[in-house]
Chains A and B, each alone.
Chain A
């Protein structure tokens, strides 16, 4: 396949992640509002928010160092780099597919989180430091689960490159829906909820400083930087869900060839999958309460045990 086509498709994927991720956030908030018998903001609200923030002035503390200024860009760029590695709309490897594997993608995403945590401490605001220490706690509990999930998946597929894993599930000669697959799926979903700062680990809609985990990292940002950080957060959820759906749960519906028809069909298929995932998230967020901070360890501990059981069941071969 010509290099230009692959480059173009890669760019298209990046654009989809860039432009559709606020929509995902908007759909989730709207659906959540509907479930709670509210009208709620429209699904385009995140776009208006971003537009408004991009036009506003920015206030940066005099004591802030370069970390504080660089962080919005890192947080914004990290999910876009990961997009290059994972199947978003195409079922075949694209230009940068072999640049890094799933572990590499995980590292790039956590680089964004690392910078966000540093920047929160940088201005010496007490809430920022509290939030960053909490996000670190959640992150280091989530890390082993993520590793276990990746190991199980790569054991099944024989590789850690997301495209190959997707292909292994898709062609179906490997055991697709077996106990280990299901266990790993559930563990991964729990980690996504923790990583993206959603209920039951964190409440994305709450703005009470003492209870915030993920939001408090952005507390010192304003204007364009805040817009970038927020947009980065939306994209992170979108990318994580892309990995979850396209690599683990529903490897179907991706473009099989470079033909325009295949590619054009793959976009609504992705939207449909995302809608289902949004409904799932809304159901979880509306039925569970936010966990107390120290119960997050129990939640992620459960995820770890489930993923370990996934590995064991794979080795036993049941």
Chain B
């Protein structure tokens, strides 16, 4: 049986994790987006470590440490370097749908995730019951962030948020992935973020813009 105090701490961290996703959705500044992402990843590390402590699965500590290293330090640093000295650093992000509309849609997505994952959970499994809906909701919100941004770099943050959500959903259900897959995932993510960053920089140098809707025609 899980100690209710731990469950409460998990609940608070989980709620903050969800709030961080909502905050990333409403953030207008790229810098703020990256900082919020780092904060969310930190919460993810705390959650993973707590679940590891509760279930006694030691390799979740490793997941937490990797999350801390890669997602709260390396990727934010990388993204900061990508947008450094570009116009993205100062200008506000453009949205496809305005912020109240986006918030409303993400609220519906979260509710959908809650109801959908309620049906999946094995009765009596308190950890999964608490964390799976939050992970699913954050995944959907991350996907929505990807859809609703007009620029390439903010879209990358959407992908990263979605990935955070997937990891949170994986932590209580499968107690993380097998270790080798976990390593692969983190380095994939790192390399992916790096590649996307470099690509976006090249695109920016070529076309003076990373607005996605302007990139659908070939230039001579």
Q: How far is the CA of A177 from the CA of B18 in the complex (A)?
A: 15
In the complex, B203 has a CB within 8 A of chain A = no
Contact in complex: A309, B129 (CB < 8 Å): no
Contact check, B134 vs A178: say whether CB atoms are below 8 A apart. no
- Say whether, besides A298-B99, A305-B106, A183 and B15 are in contact (CB < 8 Å): yes
**Which A residues are within 8 Å of any B CB, using their own CB?**
175-179, 182-183, 186, 297-298, 301-302, 304-306, 308-309, 312-313, 316-318
Q: List residues of chain A with CB within 8 A of the CB of B129.
A: 317-318
Give chain B interface residues in 58-112, CB to chain A under 8 Å: 99-100, 103-104, 106-107, 110-111
Select the stretch in B6-14, B48-56, B178-186, B192-200 that faces chain A: B6-14
Residues of B near A176 (CB, < 8 A) are 8
Q: How far is the CB of B30 from chain A (nearest CB, A)?
A: 17
Which chain B residues lie closer than 8 Å to A183 at the CB level?
15, 19
Whole-angstrom distance from the CB of B148 to the nearest CB of chain A? 14
Chain A residue, CB-CB nearest to B16: A182
Residue B158 interfacial (CB < 8 Å): no
Question: How many Å from the CB of B139 to the closest CB on chain A?
Answer: 15
Number of A-B contacts (CB under 8 A): 67
Which B residues form the contact surface with A (CB < 8 A)?
Answer: 8, 11-12, 14-16, 18-19, 22, 26, 99-100, 103-104, 106-107, 110-111, 114-115, 118, 129-130, 133-134
- Cβ A179 vs Cβ B111 within 8 A: no
- CB-CB under 8 A from A317, the residues of chain B are 129
Min C-beta distance of B214 to chain A, whole Å: 26
- Enumerate chain A residues within 8 angstroms of B133, measured Cβ to Cβ: 313, 316, 318
Q: Which of B18, B104, B107 contacts A179 (CB 8 A)?
A: B18
Which one of B11, B103, B134 contacts A302 once the chains associate, using CB atoms below 8 Å?
B103
Sorted nearest first, the 3 A-B pairs with minimum C-beta distance are A179-B15, A301-B100, A305-B107
Q: Can you add 19 more A-B contacts, CB < 8 Å, to A182-B12, A302-B99?
A: A175-B8, A176-B8, A177-B11, A178-B11, A179-B14, A179-B134, A182-B11, A182-B15, A183-B19, A186-B19, A301-B99, A301-B100, A301-B104, A305-B103, A308-B111, A312-B114, A313-B114, A318-B114, A318-B133
Q: How far is the CB of A307 from chain B (nearest CB, A)?
A: 10
Chain A residue at minimal CB-CB distance from B23: A302
In the bound complex, how far is the Cα of B111 from the Cα of A306, in angstroms? Answer: 11
Which residues of chain B are within 8 angstroms of A186 by Cβ–Cβ distance? 19
B-side contacts of A301, CB under 8 Å? 99-100, 103-104
The reply to whether A308 and B107 contact each other, CB–CB distance below 8 Å, is yes
A297 and B100 form a contact (CB under 8 A): yes
Show 11 residue pairs from A and B whose CB-CB distance is below 8 angstroms, ordered by the A residue.
Answer: A179-B134, A298-B99, A298-B100, A298-B103, A304-B103, A305-B103, A309-B110, A313-B114, A316-B133, A318-B11, A318-B129
